[in-house]
Amino acid sequence: MGFLLLAGAIAAEIAATTSMKYSEGFTRLWPSVITAVGYVVAFALLAQTLQTVSVGTAYAIWSGAGTAAIAVIGTLFLGEGMTVTKAAGIALIVIGVVVLNLGGAH
């Protein structure tokens, strides 16, 4: 159940961060509301996750998956460029999360 909650926290964080881009500095109402609600939901679900998943594992997955997903969303939908350096950074994030989990984080 913990990893299902974590997946929800990641999805909420991704929605909130994407909406923040569209809020234009919090000058547009609905994207601003989605941003605020998304982060509240993300942190609430992350807090619930920590009841069954270790903080190191949960935070590594939450922050890493969110960061990598936002970078890909930026490239695919927001007109941001993808460079070899950016792709390598995303790969390093994913590898880092995998290594933390393989390294015995419980």
User: What is the total count of domains within the chain?
Assistant: 1
Residue-wise pLDDT for 27-50, tens only, equals: 999 999 999 999 999 999 999 999
Sign of CA dihedral 27, 31, 33, 39: negative
Domain that holds residue 55: 2-102
Residue-wise pLDDT for 39-96, tens only, equals: 999 999 999 999 999 998 899 999 999 999 999 999 999 999 999 999 999 999 999 8
Global pTM exceeds 0.85: yes
Task: Check residue 105 and give left, alpha or beta (phi > 0: left; psi -120 to 50: alpha).
Answer: beta
